[in-house]
């Protein structure tokens, strides 16, 4: 039975009150005693040698405390930034990892690369002084496009990376795919670009380094999705301080979407400078800096070919991708276009043979790393666009073609040809549910009505798959990950019955303080208002891996359930003693311990009190009620579903109106439906943003970021989007104790293909994202002319 605050209830969020009353504590809201302010001088050039830096005038400016350049950082032995996932090229060579200094030493490689850090008593003084630094640059010709970077004669971004090639990696059975194509009745081809995006969490990145000289301890506040990982990297690889002398706090964080996973130059420098100066140093990004220096997302050039038999049954898929890594490797950049991408190219289908080749390349652009979905949106975009094109090529309805090729609901566990074992799902059910939600059968009439007004209406599907809950440590280790991907939890009862849950996950909008409290309320019978969730402070919570890849509930929630199991186990022993029974005879449900077959019972609160005031207590049992658990997943989870977009295009203006959106997603069991729906809304909005509006554009000649502000980079706004129709189906995940799959990224994965397929359906021509008015207008006009 579901209680009002237990599993399955749309409990209103516990964290909302502080956010709604202005009492959230985001990083820039925090100040440390005696704090100085830092400002970065950033490169105005995409690619240049630094011939000299003259800081004399700036150093003499009012309030300036210190100015640091790359030489100062290097002289102090501060290590470069690292990439934590090793990829092996098909020739057996490890990926190329060129030096990535926190402040450039002799060469700048993208607009916005750090050149100097100015610290002053006030922020205004730091910025004023930064303008007085004279840098003598020798400009070089940049390359910004991934495909251009691998062409013969392209500028070389790093001297030690020939041909700008980070890796040339493959997955799948090439010979089997060749054989499939040889026997195919039909081959559909696709050549697409997955546009580069700027994540744009609304809170800009920021950091405060502080130093306690008495204890030789650095305290770093940073906008992080994974503070323990930041501590580990800054300690073990960058060499800022030993882990036990470095405390990292990620307070309230205003959105992440992947961009705050990574360990960046700015927080590194703040931590280092604080110790050097014995003074707190704060840096907060301006939005323009975020555009230039946050890790970007996507940026894939892809060609794909799908081989089919005469009935449209998929026989083989061949995919070639060039992935733009930017100027340097960000923390997990190498994994995104490889193991997070090609492993999902089976989609929801039984395609028996798949081969992918991915070339990751360096360019003179901001580094690219995981952004909401991370590789999986790129995979779904390839699969769902080529499937829709195949349907048009073959004259089969896109619904029918998908159904002919779906993995059957009774086929699990299902091993794909690209090393994944899907654990559960019901793809036809999701498709049918979405069709019903959008009234697919009524589309023809709606299209006719639009046409009567001179408009073109289109409908497009996207049946997406993702791999979430990353992931079994042994599996990711074997694929090159430098870390394990388990999660930690600690459930601590206070003597008076309240509970604090410490989690290694980090909430930056996902509502963990509520969802995780629901687990305790449900399983231990504690009123939800008596449960606090604590996260984001390496000085408080056990070492944890953080939040990304829709893993918090599947992995972090499972760790909480492990800790709950330990609490119950210990509670049974205490209860047995209190009721003078044997522990084997104690039954537990919802925070009540009963002696089986009797009406004797004690509550969790009584047991917890006895554990802390053990006057009457089992002699062989430790006092206290405080259990820690670590959970390592048994598999990825595989959320899946179908999204359907309906658009109306004005062929005279190119305006695309998203008139309807239906989504049917299978996230396994759902703890808080309200929060899950919110996650879908946000993901879909970001996917629509990618398909319709957003584009990080670098000028090919100068390497300048042309869409580097909200005046130029088109963020989705309230009047760009529709309301969404959403249902969830619930095939429990067999791989974790909660049966959950993860919902954070689904919308961003599913939406781009659905929307682009709808636009194609409307205007009859395929275009690349984003479908700007100009592009749509040109395509619609050319289609009309061709038809006349």
Q: Which residues bind another protein (CB under 8 A)?
A: 12-13, 15-26, 28-29, 124, 200-204, 252-255, 257, 286-288, 508-511, 674-675, 677-678, 681-686, 709-711, 715-719, 721, 723-724, 747
Element holding 491 (H helix, E strand): strand 487-493
Alpha-carbon distance of 97 to 82, in angstroms, equals: 8
Q: CB-wise, 143 or 684, nearer to another protein? A: 684
Q: CB-wise, 55 or 515, nearer to another protein? A: 515
Residue count of the chain, please give it.
788
Q: CB-wise, 18 or 51, nearer to another protein? A: 18
Decide: 506 and 226 in contact? Cβ < 8 Å: yes
Smallest gap from residue 381 Cβ to another protein (A): 19
Q: CB-wise, 416 or 552, nearer to another protein? A: 552
Smallest gap from residue 230 Cβ to another protein (A): 19
Q: CB-wise, 488 or 672, nearer to another protein? A: 672
Q: CB-wise, 291 or 427, nearer to another protein? A: 291
CA distances to 44, 56, 220, 263, 692 from 67, in Å: 19, 10, 20, 22, 43
Element holding 277 (H helix, E strand): helix 265-277
Smallest gap from residue 448 Cβ to another protein (A): 24
Smallest gap from residue 740 Cβ to another protein (A): 19
Q: CB-wise, 204 or 571, nearer to another protein? A: 204
Alpha-carbon distance of 40 to 25, in angstroms, equals: 24
Alpha-carbon distance of 8 to 45, in angstroms, equals: 53
Decide: 503 and 533 in contact? Cβ < 8 Å: yes
Q: CB-wise, 182 or 202, nearer to another protein? A: 202
Alpha-carbon distance of 549 to 535, in angstroms, equals: 18
Smallest gap from residue 199 Cβ to another protein (A): 8
Smallest gap from residue 645 Cβ to another protein (A): 14
Q: CB-wise, 12 or 90, nearer to another protein? A: 12
Q: CB-wise, 321 or 679, nearer to another protein? A: 679
| Token pair for 67 | 């100015």
Smallest gap from residue 646 Cβ to another protein (A): 16
Smallest gap from residue 62 Cβ to another protein (A): 12
What are the φ and ψ backbone dihedral angles of 126, each rounded to 5 degrees?
-65, -40
DSSP 85: B
Smallest gap from residue 371 Cβ to another protein (A): 12
Decide: 644 and 661 in contact? Cβ < 8 Å: yes
Alpha-carbon distance of 462 to 757, in angstroms, equals: 8
Smallest gap from residue 21 Cβ to another protein (A): 6
Q: Show the DSSP H helices in 624-765 as ranges.
A: 673-688, 746-763
Q: CB-wise, 314 or 713, nearer to another protein? A: 713
| Token pair for 553 | 């509930």
Smallest gap from residue 77 Cβ to another protein (A): 35
Q: What is the dihedral angle through the alpha carbons of 209, 212, 215, 217, rounded to the nearest 10 degrees?
A: 0
Reference 114, options 175, 32, 53, 66; nearest CA is 53
Reference 251, options 225, 271, 231, 273; nearest CA is 225
Smallest gap from residue 252 Cβ to another protein (A): 7
Q: CB-wise, 677 or 745, nearer to another protein? A: 677
CA distances to 173, 211, 226, 554, 749 from 550, in Å: 29, 34, 13, 8, 12
CA distances to 347, 350, 405, 708, 787 from 309, in Å: 18, 13, 11, 47, 30
* Omega of the bond leading into 471 within 30 degrees of 0 (cis): yes
Q: How far is CA 457 from the centre of its chain?
A: 33
Smallest gap from residue 785 Cβ to another protein (A): 34
Smallest gap from residue 710 Cβ to another protein (A): 3
Q: CB-wise, 25 or 540, nearer to another protein? A: 25
Alpha-carbon distance of 640 to 463, in angstroms, equals: 7
Q: CB-wise, 17 or 49, nearer to another protein? A: 17
Q: How far is CA 295 from the centre of its chain?
A: 12
Reference 704, options 210, 364, 273, 290; nearest CA is 364
Q: CB-wise, 286 or 529, nearer to another protein? A: 286
Alpha-carbon distance of 473 to 462, in angstroms, equals: 31
Across the strands, what pairs with 642? 463, 664
CA distances to 348, 389, 391 from 187, in Å: 19, 11, 11
Smallest gap from residue 743 Cβ to another protein (A): 13
Smallest gap from residue 588 Cβ to another protein (A): 33
Alpha-carbon distance of 157 to 141, in angstroms, equals: 10
Element holding 587 (H helix, E strand): strand 586-589
Q: CB-wise, 1 or 718, nearer to another protein? A: 718
Alpha-carbon distance of 704 to 632, in angstroms, equals: 44
Q: CB-wise, 12 or 51, nearer to another protein? A: 12
Burial class of 705 by CB neighbour count within 10 A (0 to 12, 13 to 18, 19+) = buried
Decide: 663 and 750 in contact? Cβ < 8 Å: yes
CA distances to 380, 435, 644, 649 from 440, in Å: 22, 5, 9, 18
Smallest gap from residue 460 Cβ to another protein (A): 18
Q: Given CA atoms 181, 185, 191, 194 in this order, what sign does their dihedral have?
A: negative
Q: CB-wise, 323 or 438, nearer to another protein? A: 438
Smallest gap from residue 746 Cβ to another protein (A): 12
| Token pair for 249 | 């706090």
CA distances to 61, 165, 236, 349, 745 from 149, in Å: 42, 8, 33, 34, 30
């Amino acid at each position: 039975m579901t209680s009002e605050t237990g599993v399955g209830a749309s409990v209103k969020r516990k964290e909302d009150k502080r956010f709604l009353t202005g009492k959230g504590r985001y990083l820039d809201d925090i100040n440390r005693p005696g704090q100085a302010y830092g400002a970065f001088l950033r490169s105005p050039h995409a690619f240049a040698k630094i011939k000299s830096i003259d800081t004399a005038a700036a150093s003499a400016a009012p309030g300036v405390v210190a100015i640091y350049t790359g030489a100062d950082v290097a002289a102090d032995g501060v290590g470069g930034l690292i990439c934590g996932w090793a990829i092996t090229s098909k020739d057996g060579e490890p990926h190329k990892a060129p030096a990535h200094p926190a402040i450039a030493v002799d060469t700048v490689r993208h607009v916005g690369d750090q050149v100097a850090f100015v610290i002053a008593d006030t922020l205004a003084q730091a910025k004023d002084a930064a303008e007085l630094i004279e840098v003598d640059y020798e400009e070089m010709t940049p390359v910004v496009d991934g495909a251009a970077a691998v062409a013969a004669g392209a500028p070389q971004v790093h001297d030690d990376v020939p041909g700008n090639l980070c890796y040339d990696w493959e997955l799948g059975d090439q010979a089997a795919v060749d054989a499939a194509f040889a026997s195919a009745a039909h081959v559909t081809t696709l050549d697409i670009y997955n546009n580069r995006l700027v994540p744009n969490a609304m809170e800009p990145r920021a950091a405060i380094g502080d130093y306690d000289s008495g204890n030789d301890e650095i305290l770093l506040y940073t906008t992080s999705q994974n503070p323990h990982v930041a501590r580990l990297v800054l300690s073990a690889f960058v060499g800022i301080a030993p882990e036990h002398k470095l405390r990292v706090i990620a307070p309230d964080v205003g959105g992440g979407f992947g961009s705050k996973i990574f360990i960046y130059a700015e927080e590194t420098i703040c931590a280092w400078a604080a110790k050097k100066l014995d003074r707190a140093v704060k840096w907060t990004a301006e939005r323009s800096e975020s555009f230039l220096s946050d890790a970007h997302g996507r940026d894939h050039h892809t060609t794909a070919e799908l081989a089919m038999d005469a009935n449209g049954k998929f026989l083989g898929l061949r995919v070639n991708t060039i992935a733009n890594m930017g100027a340097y490797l960000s923390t997990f950049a190498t994994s995104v276009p490889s193991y997070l991408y090609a492993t999902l190219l089976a989609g929801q289908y039984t395609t028996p043979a798949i081969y992918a080749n991915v070339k990751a390349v360096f360019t003179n652009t901001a580094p690219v790393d995981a952004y909401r979905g991370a590789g999986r949106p790129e995979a779904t975009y390839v699969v769902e666009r080529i499937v829709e094109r195949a349907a048009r090529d073959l004259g089969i309805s896109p619904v029918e073609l998908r159904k002919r090729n779906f993995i059957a609901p009774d086929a699990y566990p299902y091993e794909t040809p690209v090393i994944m074992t899907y654990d559960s799902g019901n793809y036809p059910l999701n498709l049918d549910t979405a069709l019903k939600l959008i009234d697919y059968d009524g589309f023809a009439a709606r299209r006719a009505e639009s046409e009567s007004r001179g408009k073109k209406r289109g409908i497009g599907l996207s049946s997406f798959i993702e791999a979430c809950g990353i992931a079994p440590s042994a599996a990711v280790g074997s694929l090159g990950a430098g870390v394990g991907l388990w999660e930690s939890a600690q459930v601590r009862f206070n003597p008076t019955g309240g509970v604090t849950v410490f989690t290694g996950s980090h909430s930056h909008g996902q509502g963990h303080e509520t969802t995780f409290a629901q687990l305790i309320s449900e399983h231990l019978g504690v009123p939800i208002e008596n449960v606090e969730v604590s996260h984001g402070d390496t000085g408080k919570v056990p070492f944890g891996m953080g939040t990304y890849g829709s893993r918090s509930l599947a992995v972090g929630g499972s760790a909480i359930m492990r800790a709950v199991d330990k609490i119950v186990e210990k509670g049974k022993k205490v209860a047995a003693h209190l009721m003078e029974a044997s522990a084997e005879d104690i039954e537990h449900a919802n925070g009540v311990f009963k002696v089986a077959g009797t009406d004797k019972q004690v509550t969790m609160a009584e047991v917890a009190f006895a554990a802390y005031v053990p006057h009457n207590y089992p002699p062989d049992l430790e006092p206290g009620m405080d259990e820690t658990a670590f959970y390592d997943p048994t598999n990825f989870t595989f959320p899946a579903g179908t999204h359907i977009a309906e658009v109306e295009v004005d062929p005279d203006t190119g305006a695309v109106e998203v008139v309807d959106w239906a989504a049917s997603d299978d996230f396994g069991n759902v703890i808080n439906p309200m929060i899950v729906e919110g996650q879908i809304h946000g993901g879909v909005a970001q996917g629509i943003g990618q398909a319709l509006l957003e584009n990080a554009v670098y000028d090919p000649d100068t390497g300048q970021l042309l869409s580097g502000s909200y005046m130029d980079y088109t963020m989705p706004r309230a009047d760009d989007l529709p309301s969404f129709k959403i249902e969830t189906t619930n095939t429990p995940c067999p791989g974790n104790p909660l049966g959950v799959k993860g919902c954070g990224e689904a919308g961003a994965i599913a939406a781009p293909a659905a929307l682009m397929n709808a636009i194609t359906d409307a205007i009859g021509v395929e275009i690349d994202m984003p479908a700007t008015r100009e592009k749509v207008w040109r395509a619609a006009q050319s289609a009309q002319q061709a038809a006349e």
